[in-house]
Structure 1
Amino acid sequence: MRRRTLLKGAAVSGAAVLGAGYWALPAGPRPAAVSLDGARQVLADLQGRALRSVSGWSPSEVFNHCAQSIDYSIDGYPELKPAWFRHTLGPAAFAVFSSRGAMRHPLDEAIPGAAALTEPSSQALALQRLQAAFERFAEYRGGLQPHFAYGVLDHAEYAEAHVLHLYNHLSLIRPA
């Protein structure tokens, strides 16, 4: 009984925080449409350009991180948040991001259990890795693995999540 009450309280509190956070999400212009084609065009436009990060990870680390997330949606995440989170707060957060068309999350927080973001180390190769991950995802027709926080997503929802994730990270990337 106490556990159920605690879980209900946590879910209600989390929903209140997510609702308040909805209005704090950016509503300004995105780099492109929230679509796989839009993201691929943004990445193509970055090829051959010298880039810098205004805070946190380097551009190559950002590209490797986003590629990891895409690959894990197909191959499986190394660690998952608890089931109660993936069935309550995680999907609620994704619903907020989806309805707002923008994601905001800590931009220097690694995926739980993920490999270091050092390979490939060059910006050009990391960008190619990310482009290849988007291509692989676009062509993939098999079952997708549960997101470590959002839980089960279908292909269209995952596509949206990957694009919003990329755009959130690109908010700190500028021409050098």
Structure 2
Amino acid sequence: MTTSRPHRWPRRRLLLAAVGAPALLSACQGTLVDERFARWDSAREAVLALMQGQQQLQHPAWNLPQLLQHLAQSIEFSLQGYPQARSAVFRHTVGRAAFGVFDARGQMSHDLAEPIPGAPALQADLSLRDAVQRLLDAMQAFAAHRGLLAPHFAYGVLSKAEYQRAHLMHLANHWSQMQSTQAVA
């Protein structure tokens, strides 16, 4: 008597789709939606512009310096390693597929109030100048880095180009919380 296992095939197909989808989607890089964050140098300019004091953050839990620290942490951890990672299965399936979708769309969407798992607390009293400088320093260190990068806590192993796109999309996604305080004449 032969025992069939039809219940295993759908799981295998789902796993193959989850593993294969990022490879297919990575060939479909979308243009980054927010032009301020389409290139590393224009992103640096957007960060520097914060020193003009014309942006107000609409965030449920963080002030602007805390947000900039969060963004700096993300870049720093890509160089040093993340304090906590999702499971290897998550990173190779769901996480990789999520990055593939973001990459193909040219924009990221994630919980904008969620800290990086295991990251040190964000300093509420850090000055805007110091927070901007930390982010700029992290961006410079990333740009100058020539070695291997740490696996992303959710997306897994990324090339430098993929990581740069992830960082640019992350910056742009958080920039969506900012509103200009400049008066219109």
Class of the TM-score when normalised by the shorter of the 2 chains? 0.7 to 0.9
- Residue 151 of structure 2 is aligned to residue 111 of structure 1: no
* 3-state SS, counterpart of residue 161 of structure 2: helix
2: CA distance between counterparts of 1:123 and 1:14? 41
Counterparts of 2:32 and 2:145 in 1: how far apart (Å)?
31
Q: TM-score, length-normalised on structure 2?
A: 0.78
Q: Deviations over 1:25-73 (max 9, x none)?
A: xx99515242211211211222231432123221111100000000000
Are residues 123 and 92 of structure 1, via their aligned partners in 2, closer, same or farther at CA, if it must alter by over 3 Å? same
Inter-CA distance 29–149: structure 2 relative to 1 (3 Å threshold): closer
Aligned pair partner of 2:50 in 35, 46, 50: 46
User: 1:132 aligns to what SS in structure 2?
Assistant: helix
Query: Which has the greater radius of gyration?
Result: 2
Backbone CA RMSD of aligned residues: 2.9
Distance 1:7 1:123 in 2: 49
Which one of 150, 154, 157 corresponds to residue 152 of structure 1? Answer: 157
Between the aligned partners of 1:47 and 1:128, the Cα distance in structure 2 is: 10
Would you say the 8 A contact 1:64–1:120 is kept in 2?
A: no
- C-alpha separation between the residues in 2 aligned to 1:34 and 1:120? 31
Q: Tell me if 1:172 matches 2:177.
A: yes
Do 1:78 and 1:112's aligned partners in 2 also have CA atoms closer than 8 Å? yes
TM-score normalised by L of structure 1:
0.82
Letter in structure 2 aligned against 1:150: Y
Percent identity, aligned pairs only? 41
Q: Supply the AA of the counterpart residue of 2:76.
A: D
| Correspondence 1:6-21 to 2 at 5 A | 8=12
Q: Secondary structure of the residue that 1:61 maps to in structure 2?
A: helix
Asked if 1:36 is matched to 2:40, the reply is: yes
Counterpart residue number, 2:147: 142
Picking from 102, 113, 128, the partner of 1:97 is 102
Runs of 5+ unmatched residues, structure 1: 16-26
2:121 and 2:40 mapped to 1: Cα distance?
25
Q: Which runs of 4+ in 1 moved over 4 A?
A: 4-15
Distance, in Å, in 1 between the alignment partners of 2:178 and 2:86 is 29
Q: Residues 5 and 123 of structure 1: is their aligned pair in 2 closer, same or farther, counting only changes over 3 Å?
A: farther
Gaps of 5+ in 2: 20-30
Counterpart of 1:161 in structure 2 is 166
Decide whether the 8 Å contact of 2:63 with 2:124 is kept in 1. no
- Deviation at 1:175? 2.9
- Kept in 1, the 8 Å contact 2:65–2:126? The answer is yes
